[in-house]
Amino acid sequence: MTANPGSSWHRNQDSSVALAQRLDRLARRLLPGGITALVIVLLAAPTGFPAATALLPGLVMASVFFWSVWRPASMSAPIVFGLGLLMDLVGFASPGVDAFVFLLLHGIAVHARFGLMRLNFLGMWCIFAVLGSAACWLLWFLISLLAFRPMPLAPVVFECLLAIGVYPLLAAAGTWAHHRLANPEPQS
């Protein structure tokens, strides 16, 4: 039971190391989803962060897209669903709407990931710009449909622009994390 991989004479050393390794791998695997969930919760706090509510969908979309392409095991369908549901409940939107839209985005990204991975950064960004904008408009459509009235259009445009603009930042952080922190099998 002692998780001390440094000692050399424990009989159950192998299994404890394996357990620690497994936990470590699990933590690294859950890191992208966990950080995204944390961002959802923190951005809802009144931190005075400008345009936090408009930034949040774009940020989560970028995260879902990036990790679905590069590491679908870390951003699996249940995790995407959980993130969407959390965002709906925290943001007091109709429950399931965000989850549905994020799942569609995730599905497209996973389906086309081998084509997408061959693109360079600019190509990925363009694809995300198209998909993210479509997702924002679909979100607007679903919310308007469920509320029985057309919601104002200006926030959607703002939301799309923020989603497109935040992607490079997230991709840079994500690429670093993808190779170091969130990698279940670090090379070193």
How much helix, strand and coil, in percent to the nearest 5, is found in the chain?
Answer: 75, 0, 25
Query: In the window 68-107, what residues touch another protein (CB under 8 A)?
Result: 76-78, 80-81, 84-86, 89-97, 99-100, 103-104, 106-107
Q: How far is the CB of 48 from another protein (least distance, A)?
A: 6
Nearest Cα to 162, choosing from 136, 188, 142, 139?
A: 136
Q: Is there binding between residue 151 and another protein (CB under 8 A)?
A: yes
184 near another protein, rule: CB under 8 A: no
CA distance 183 to 137: 33
Told to check if 157 binds another protein by CB under 8 A, we report no
CB of 115 to another protein, least distance (A): 18
Site residues (CB under 8 A) for another protein?
41-42, 44-48, 52-54, 56-57, 76-78, 80-81, 84-86, 89-97, 99-100, 103-104, 106-107, 110, 140, 142-143, 146-147, 149, 151-152, 155-156, 159
